[in-house]
Copies of this chain bind each other. A is one copy, B any other.
């Protein structure tokens, strides 16, 4: 636990350990502020040894972001055998659960990265496209007709969901069901009505 005693790890285990430390340290800070010196220190190895496993600081950053994005992708993949409503609810529950459990990391990485870390933009972009693709699939499973701008609308609904989950009052840790219902209502309001877009009218 103290990390002082040198532990014999296989190269794969060591790589995984370093990435895991990077993921933990990312909570509450940006990628730019992730110090490889500190990662090596926490692993009880030299900085030089860290760079035996990763070609560069950027290579390490990419491995950390890749690991995080893989988790998000896995958490939001529903069982293909589910019925359409249950399939989409499983997707929403997976997404909400992931963001609630990894709120800080998610902020630093998936949102913050979009604006500020060109070195991981491709990984984050690919993950967002995968998730937007699932949203489109969910719509198709529900029998909703294809419309122009569907991928764009799906990405925008994801941003809505991200913002809602990330800003839900922290006190409401038990509110998972309420959040899922809120995000689901947003899906219906945004993506369920795309084929008949509404305009404003005063009540």
Contact = CB atoms under 8 A, between A and B. Distances in A.
- Interface size class of chain A, counting residues whose CB lies under 8 Å from the partner chain: 35 or more
Contact of A189 (B163, B182, B198): B198
Contact of A200 (B88, B162, B202): B88
Contact of A85 (B153, B168, B201): B201
Interface stretch (A17-25, A36-44, A59-67, A109-117): A109-117
A121 to B, nearest CB: 11
A194 B157 CA distance: 16
Given A32-B116, A115-B112, A184 B203 contact: no
Q: 9 tightest A-B contacts by CB?
A: A112-B115, A189-B189, A159-B163, A30-B116, A185-B197, A143-B203, A160-B160, A188-B198, A156-B164
Given A156-B163, A188-B189, 18 more contacts: A30-B32, A32-B32, A32-B116, A85-B201, A85-B202, A108-B115, A111-B111, A111-B115, A112-B116, A115-B116, A142-B203, A152-B168, A155-B163, A155-B164, A156-B167, A156-B186, A181-B199, A188-B199
Interface of A: 30-32, 83-85, 88-89, 107-109, 111-117, 142-144, 149, 152-153, 155-164, 167-168, 181-182, 184-190, 192-193, 197-203
